[in-house]
Amino acid sequence: MPGSFATDTTMTLLTRLRRALSGTPRTAPTQPRPRSGAVSARRRPPALDPALIARCQQRLHELVLQLQAAGQWPASRPVPGLEFGQRGKAAGTAHLGRWLIRLNPVLLAAHPQRFLGEVIPHELAHLLVFARHGRTRPHGPEWRQLMQQQFGLPPHVTHDLDVSAVSGPQFAYRCACRDHLLSLRRHNRVVRHQARYLCRLCGQPLAATSDAAGATPNHQHGITETTHHTK
């Protein structure tokens, strides 16, 4: 109703005036509490030595200059961006559309020479192949040829760095012939009856053991997954 609206407005103005004269502060609105399990802030990568960051940037520039001198660098492309937020076991990734290289800070700090000599050229080759040929097989003949002819490096698809610092918890399993270690993801799939794993040597299913530290060899690549279709 028009009359009540005017009265409410007048009361609101009078209340604000009294508070202003008395110096009573307004009550701050209560912030909602985060839900259980919610992440309050993004997980930040570990801090790197600024000198190591500078070395990586310098190495990237040197490689681009090398390609320019050989007439292999597209004139329309700038030096790629360089970030240090790669997670997991990957040493680095090339983001084609964004034209940047992302490096794993944990593995970089542990293996700086390998990154300078191999990882940065590896990812730069991906970007250059994309600039020349568009989207192709990630480690196809164009990439392999570039690694060998321009960088003088063997075209290794994967790295052999020690990833224990970035590996999650592992769980001990045993078959009929040896011990195995399963990742948390695979262990959870077993617990939820979503999959089971067979040893590729003896063909027997893996069973969890109580001694998590007893299975030192990691044979995750020596098993076969069989999926259970659950409703």
Q: What is the pLDDT of residue 45?
A: 54
Whether the per-residue pLDDT at 6 is higher than 90: the answer is: no
Whether the per-residue pLDDT at 5 is higher than 70: the answer is: no
- Residue spans of beta strands (DSSP E) within 54-127: 81-83, 92-95, 100-103
- Domain with residue 59: its CATH number is 3.30.2010.10
Beta pairing, strands 170-174 & 207-208: antiparallel
Q: Is the pTM of this model over 0.75?
A: no
Neighbours of 159 (CB within 10 A): 19
148-196 pLDDT per residue, tens? 999 999 999 888 887 777 767 778 899 999 888 887 888 899 999 999 9
Q: What is the pLDDT of residue 42?
A: 40
More confident residue, 214 or 86: 86
Q: Phi first, then psi: what are they for 196, rounded to 5°?
A: -135, 160
Whether the per-residue pLDDT at 33 is higher than 70: the answer is: no
62-113 pLDDT per residue, tens? 999 999 999 999 999 999 999 999 988 889 999 999 999 999 999 999 999 9
Q: What is the pLDDT of residue 173?
A: 92
Q: If residue 171 lies in a helix (H) or strand (E), which one and from where to where?
A: strand 170-174
Local structure of residue 81 (DSSP, 8 states): E
Annotation marks residue 142 as catalytic: no
Whether the per-residue pLDDT at 117 is higher than 90: the answer is: yes
Q: What is the pLDDT of residue 92?
A: 93
Classify residue 174: in a domain, yes or no. yes
Whether the per-residue pLDDT at 55 is higher than 60: the answer is: yes
Number of domains, the chain: 2
- Among 149, 180, 195, the domain-final residue is 149
Q: Domain of 186?
A: 168-227
* Mean pLDDT of all residues belonging to the chain: 78
Do residues 55 and 145 both lie within one domain? yes
Do residues 133 and 183 both lie within one domain? no
Beta pairing, strands 81-83 & 100-103: parallel
Helices 120-133 and 141-149, packing angle to 10 deg: 130
Cα–Cα distances in angstroms (integers) from residue 187 to residues 15, 42, 48, 105, 222, in the given order: 62, 26, 33, 27, 15
Do residues 116 and 172 both lie within one domain? no
Do residues 138 and 185 both lie within one domain? no
Most distant CA pair in the chain: distance in Å? 88
Do residues 54 and 143 both lie within one domain? yes
Whether the per-residue pLDDT at 32 is higher than 50: the answer is: no
Find the catalytic residue in 62, 83, 123, 142.
123
